[in-house]
Amino acid sequence: MSLTAEKMRASIAMSATLLLVLGACSQNEPTEAQRKQCFDRYIREHQAEYPVETLKKTAALKCYS
């Protein structure tokens, strides 16, 4: 087998491995119900610290972005 063929096989193998790893690591988008739950939980957890209007903006950025 030639050196070029070996390099090509190695390159293809590395590319395939990289694609598999990236596919396995990708996260699924949260559902609308999960986003709403995140929003409500954030407001409940921090309502004693900040005004509700501020919390709504922050929770929207955190949970819907």
**Domain range summary for the chain, segments of one domain joined by +:** 3-64
Give the N- to C-terminal CA distance of the chain in Å, as an integer.
Answer: 52
Q: What is the block-wise mean pLDDT of the chain (65 residues), using blocks of 10 residues? A: 72 70 70 96 96 96 94
pLDDT for 22 equals: 61
User: Is the pTM value of this prediction over 0.75?
Assistant: no
Q: How far apart are CA 60 and CA 56, in angstroms?
A: 6
Q: What is the pLDDT of residue 15?
A: 72
